[in-house]
Amino acid sequence: MLSSPGEDPRPPEQAPDPAEPGGESVVCSRCGKPSEHTPPTWTCSVENGMRHYFCDDCARANLRAIEGRLDSPWW
């Protein structure tokens, strides 16, 4: 069976795989702090279709703006 454009061809009971960086280092989009892998405490934000990762310090300092869903250039 063919699916229409934009439709997920997987069965509904199969959850989509999270798109995580594969083997590459992750860098905080705010301060540039590098990390070998994405730490579970870092924040991920999708802005204009692109993933942005923020370290613990940057996420804590801008928590209200993140929760208010402001794009990172605003904060």
Please tell me whether the overall predicted TM-score, pTM, comes out greater than 0.75 for this model: no
Write down the pLDDT at residue 32. Answer: 94
pLDDT category at 6 given cuts 50, 70, 90 is: low
pLDDT category at 10 given cuts 50, 70, 90 is: low
Question: Would you call 22 helix, strand, or coil by DSSP?
Answer: coil
Per-residue pLDDT reduced to its tens digit, 25-65: 899 999 999 998 878 889 988 888 889 899 999 999 988 88
CA distances from 29 to 3, 4, 20, 54, 55 (A): 36, 35, 15, 6, 8
